[in-house]
Structure 1
Amino acid sequence: MINSSVLCQIPERIAGEWLVALTIIGAIVSVVSVVGNGIIIAAFVAIRHLRKPCNLLLTNLALSDLLYGLVGFPMYIVTDYFNNLFCDWMFRHVRLFIIYFCINMQLNNISIIAIERFVGIQFPFIYESHVTTKKTFLATAITWVFGISRAVFVASSYEEDIHLVLMVELPVLICLVVLTFLVYLRVYIVSRRHLKRDRQFGISKQESKSLVAVHIAVCNVISWMPVVVVRFIDAVIVETHYWKQATFLSPFVGTCLNLFIYTYRMRNTKKR
């Protein structure tokens, strides 16, 4: 069990001009992400012909991105201004729950979009009969329940038994990442193959949706690479000090890049 007195003394926290710069950049990116993703969600709700299963999944991802910018970043940065908050048992658990939930909801949504795109690109003739609005709502509900349950487990068990958390969460995370990567790889290969064939029987439509989904996945992977690389360097090679905290901004940039992909996808849907 982690000593609570240690938690009140957080080493290597950002301070001074680093903290000011991180706060300003993070605030700007968060505002752009919240406003942009809010517009995407509002467009899905207000415009009837956008209410399709594929767009529902993209809207669910936009909602998780919105929460990331709205509550994820503020909960992350507030402890750099008020270190004594770590002495509050409830705050530590709530903060860990919110941050872990926001982060994992992105991966959960990317995974469920991968499955939807696999069905669309691999079985285009039965796509509409199998991927219905009700089934898509059920899939989004599952992602939320899965994300909440994992966040509750981590927040409630992290201080008591961190090894148990790592033993459970690491395999789950690795399986999600590997399976999602393999599905997207298959989606990309089939999509590129369809580009070389005659675009008929709705295949070109599914190909267009699939490449958009691949672009979203690539944006999320790229945005998380600085976090993975810096933390690996810090753990194996040399201490990175403030860079560990600064890299937390890169996923926010990914949520903003997704906005352009959403806009392109929904514009194409409107044309059809």
Structure 2
Amino acid sequence: MRLVRYGEAGAEKPGLIDAENVLRDLSEEIDDLAGDHLSRATMDRLRALDPKSLAKADPSHRIGPPVGRLGNFIAIGLNYADHARESGAEIPKEPVVFNKAPSSLSGPMDEIPLPSDSKSLDWEVEVAVVIGDPAWRIKEDAALAHIAGFTLCHDVSERDWQRERGGQWTKGKSAPGFGPLGPWLVTPDQIDDPQAIELWLDVNGERMQTGTTANMIFGFSQIVSYLSNFMRLMPGDVITTGTPAGVGMGMKPPRYLKDGDIVTLGSPLLGSQRQVVRLSGE
């Protein structure tokens, strides 16, 4: 299934994209794509529905992030060897873990606010997973069963805040609009091999990033199992899993986003995003 949330920010409804790419309303079945509604049991129930029995929704609606009532927004850094090299970092021996503030979450087509004191706003295309069932100290071979779905994430990053303000990556990753997610939550049964998802990102029509999850240092099962040793992962937690090479920080000289830039990113399996960078009114 391709599941979505549509409508104005803060008032999104759950929906489904059918095989003919028609947006269908799920609000008679669940009140949101959130919490226990992301469980395996609910996913199985929704999968059994005939999509044509669901009301059509107006396709002009804004598409929001495909998970509501976000819990943790966890990120894995330096998880592609080529990106670690362009960052001047060693290949990590264990996953590098940090947080993005849940308040950074935004829709896949929403604008990216450019803070007035930003010096180095950067792009990162990633695949995120959304937890569907609680996970505590689970083995790798059980990890995928705890995932409700996969989605596209743009891990927007302010590099000066990330690297020069005391070494806390969360500072550079958490401003409003720094976490576009979606458009869809793609359930695992729709993805033959999660470690073969292709990714791309363009800035103003110029290709900057091309990659595949085959090149992740730590795969999805490893990441979910690893995190579950330190925290109980809960339904609605989002884990974004790292970016391939091609970020602005790695260019010589570095290149960063400015007011009016257009970022597009996508995956053949997970859909695409488009954002315009706009100077924040603050």
Q: TM-score with structure 2 length normalisation?
A: 0.26
Going by fraction, where is helix more abundant, 1 or 2?
Answer: 1
Which of the two has greater strand per residue? 2
What is the TM-score with the length of structure 1 in the denominator? 0.26
